[in-house]
Chains A and B, each alone.
Chain A
Amino acid sequence: MDSQNTSAISSAPTFFASHRLRRNGLAAQIAGRIGSGMLVLWAAVTLSFVSLQLAPGDIVSLLIGEQLRTPEVEAAIRAEWGLDEPLLSQYLSYLTRILHGDFGRSYILQTEVSQLVLSQILPTLKLTTAALFVAIIFGLVSAVLTAGRRIPRGIAGALELTLVSTPSFWLGILLLYLFSFTLKLFPVSGDRSFSALVLPALALGLPLGAVVGQVLRQGLERALEEPFALTVRSWGTSGLVLRLRHGLRHAALPAVTLTGWLVGSLLSGAVITESVFGRPGLGRVTVEAVLGHDLPVVLAVAILSAFVYVTLSTLVDVLYLWLDPRLRSDSPEAAR
């Protein structure tokens, strides 16, 4: 806890200063981003603690969920959460425990929350990775083949609008009906084989791929209008090579800003997709925990996903600073 608190506090002034002074070097700016990411995480953990305190009803019945309340269980909860101690020391021990990866105990499932979450991470990771793959491939193909071409562009645009507007769970139901029940190509549920991953990944990935495609196409069209595109064309380079080798490089940078949104949507979407396809995973655990008022589990999943989200978007921020010197605060453009 100490290390996190001190680093968050010591880096806070750098972060705030970087807004105003615009004289910091790259290293300081990167440290600022990381510090501000840690600040957000610390605040997220604090928020979860505060919400437990402020929620209506007493904290013991919040933590116990729908489990039978016996004096023994109540004593166990009081001891575990230090409920008889002053609020400040409760808070500090909560922070310490979470820093050590200890999210408490689920009284409904009679197990350590961290073990439960760890055991369910793999199937969710498989699903989200596969869906990310689907989204990126779909977006790339759709953007590269249709950018700047009137009719294909219109068709791809209409397809993307439809996909963006389609709830992933309905897409999942349609895919299930078509490919599992009617054509019997893929299993209906479970996570036993690779083929069980195909339909869930499509249901989760295609609507996201539509957004990726829209952003990539816009970037690509802008790049193709730049003077360099004309130069490359004058070398006799084919259209596809121009798009793939030169255009995409420029189009990819704005698409990278989608990372945060993509991570959030994949995590949110996985909750629903896992239910549609009866897959094991964090999403299933979360839904059952919410319906059973199993707060320790819900909070653990929420904090974990905030951690993933903040880590990845901080990484992208840092990558961006490194890739695009114009964004650094010591560059002439940023100092305008």
Chain B
Amino acid sequence: MSALPAPAEHETAPASQFLRRLPTNPGLALAALFLAVIAIATVSPALLATADPIAADPLQAQLPPSWEHWFGTDHLGRDVFSRVVHGARYSILIGVGAVALAATAGSFLGLVAGLSRGLIDEIITRLLDVVSAFPDLLLALVLISFTGPGTTNLIFALGVAFIPRFARVVRAQTFVIARSGYVEQARTFGLSRTVLVLRHVLPHAVAQVPILATIGLGTAIIGAAGLSFLGMGPQPPAPEWGAMLAEARNYLRVAWWIGVWPGLAITLTVIAISVLGRRWQTAFEGRRSE
């Protein structure tokens, strides 16, 4: 890694730099490959699994993994492999949705706080303090007790709980950038405040947000699965990974396979996301410190 041609790297954006490293790093390549499979499962699960994930077949109940049913069948005779593949859509949708909500709202609040300083900054910062005084999942549970369970409500609840971590970083960055020399310089050109903020402050203030979002996505997927496990997410018979594990919990004694595969899918997805996110972060920080 240290033997990279330095001058050329300096010019490229961290994302493309990190894409070029993929083939030389087997762990990274494996993670990217796994996420590609997950992406296919999200967009068109029927390509990977032909069995119906919802249709019950009592005669085929609780069959162990076999050639016909790779991951076995569950207590209603549904194909577990097909359910795991179709379940990717829920976990990814909820995770990405919650992180997108948190990143957008957080960046906006952070930018406003960082630019305005004074009273508005104080109010926003205090509000973030209050929101983060509640543990993430507990705050999400409070919100769900108002809205009721369900996919959309879960996205909203988790998204709100994740706002402070984005807002804090963007606020701190905005502070630094708004005071930096080149913004001063740009101001002397007589640019309007809108142009100054949109073109010169915003892009740098939110530069780290995609990386934070990638790392936060793993946390969001685990949180979403946990809340679904408790019955707060997509309702049965939806093949959501956390909800599948909640059902599996009751059949562990007789059918271990129902409880293994959905959990493995969550863990591998989160590992793959963290591996990519961390590498991206290292590349970003390396470029910055050069």
If the complex has contacts A165-B274, A170-B263, A302-B138, are A181 and B253 also in contact, measured as CB distance less than 8 A?
Answer: yes
- Chain B interface extent, by class: 35 or more
Query: In chain B, residues 214-265, which have Cβ atoms closer than 8 Å to a Cβ of chain A?
Result: 218, 222, 225-226, 229-232, 242, 245, 248-249, 252-253, 256, 259-260, 262-263
With the chains together, A15 CA to B20 CA distance in Å?
A: 49
Q: Is the CB of A103 closer than 8 A to any CB of chain B?
A: no
Q: Is the CB of B61 closer than 8 A to any CB of chain A?
A: no
Cβ contact within 8 Å between B229 and A275: yes
Q: Is the CB of A34 closer than 8 A to any CB of chain B?
A: no
Q: Is the CB of A27 closer than 8 A to any CB of chain B?
A: no
Query: In chain A, residues 191-241, which have Cβ atoms closer than 8 Å to a Cβ of chain B?
Result: none
With the chains together, A94 CA to B271 CA distance in Å?
A: 45
Cβ contact within 8 Å between A55 and B226: no
Q: Is the CB of B98 closer than 8 A to any CB of chain A?
A: no
Taking the closest CB of chain A, its distance from the CB of B30, in whole angstroms, is 13
Residue of B nearest to A263 (CB): B135
Residue of A nearest to B27 (CB): A158
Q: Is the interface of A mostly helix, strand, loop or mixed?
A: helix
From B141, B218, B252, B271, contact of A173 by CB (8 A):
B252
Cβ contact within 8 Å between A272 and B226: yes
Cβ contact within 8 Å between B231 and A291: yes
If the complex has contacts A167-B226, A298-B142, are A309 and B245 also in contact, measured as CB distance less than 8 A?
Answer: no
Cβ contact within 8 Å between B134 and A309: yes
From A39, A161, A167, A287, contact of B274 by CB (8 A):
A161
From A36, A40, A177, contact of B256 by CB (8 A):
A177
Chain B 144-167 interface mask (CB, 8 Å, partner A; 1/0): 111011000000000000000000
If the complex has contacts A177-B259, A286-B141, A309-B134, are A162 and B146 also in contact, measured as CB distance less than 8 A?
Answer: no
Q: Which of A43-51, A69-77, A322-330 lies at the interface?
A: A43-51
Taking the closest CB of chain A, its distance from the CB of B248, in whole angstroms, is 7
Number of A-B contacts (CB under 8 A): 135
Residue of B nearest to A173 (CB): B259
Q: Is the CB of A109 closer than 8 A to any CB of chain B?
A: no
Cβ contact within 8 Å between A167 and B263: yes
- Chain A interface extent, by class: 35 or more
Q: Is the CB of A305 closer than 8 A to any CB of chain B?
A: yes
Cβ contact within 8 Å between A173 and B249: yes
With the chains together, A293 CA to B249 CA distance in Å?
A: 25
Counting chain B CB atoms within 10 Å of each CB, the highest count among A62, A268, A293 belongs to A268
Residue of A nearest to B122 (CB): A16
From B134, B248, B271, contact of A161 by CB (8 A):
B271
From B138, B139, B252, B266, contact of A167 by CB (8 A):
B266
Query: In chain A, residues 260-302, which have Cβ atoms closer than 8 Å to a Cβ of chain B?
Result: 263-265, 267-269, 271-272, 275-276, 286-287, 289-291, 293-295, 298-299, 301-302
Cβ contact within 8 Å between B263 and A39: no
If the complex has contacts A44-B130, A181-B252, A181-B253, are A305 and B263 also in contact, measured as CB distance less than 8 A?
Answer: no
With the chains together, A177 CA to B274 CA distance in Å?
A: 27
Contacts of A176 in B (CB 8 A): 249, 252
If the complex has contacts A40-B130, A40-B133, A174-B260, are A293 and B145 also in contact, measured as CB distance less than 8 A?
Answer: yes
Taking the closest CB of chain B, its distance from the CB of A167, in whole angstroms, is 5
Cβ contact within 8 Å between A43 and B126: yes
Q: Is the CB of A107 closer than 8 A to any CB of chain B?
A: no
From A173, A177, A267, contact of B135 by CB (8 A):
A267
With the chains together, A275 CA to B227 CA distance in Å?
A: 11
Taking the closest CB of chain B, its distance from the CB of A7, in whole angstroms, is 17
Residue of B nearest to A291 (CB): B231
Chain A 169-187 interface mask (CB, 8 Å, partner B; 1/0): 1100110110001000000
Q: Is the CB of B9 closer than 8 A to any CB of chain A?
A: no
A-B pairs with beta carbons under 8 Å apart, 11 shown: A40-B126, A40-B129, A43-B127, A173-B245, A173-B248, A173-B249, A177-B259, A264-B135, A268-B136, A298-B141, A299-B142
Inter-chain pairs besides A166-B263, A291-B232, 5 sampled, C-beta below 8 Å: A41-B133, A51-B142, A165-B270, A170-B263, A275-B230
A residues lining the B interface (CB < 8 Å): 16, 36, 39-41, 43-44, 47, 51, 55, 62, 161-162, 164-170, 173-174, 176-177, 181, 263-265, 267-269, 271-272, 275-276, 286-287, 289-291, 293-295, 298-299, 301-302, 305-306, 309-310
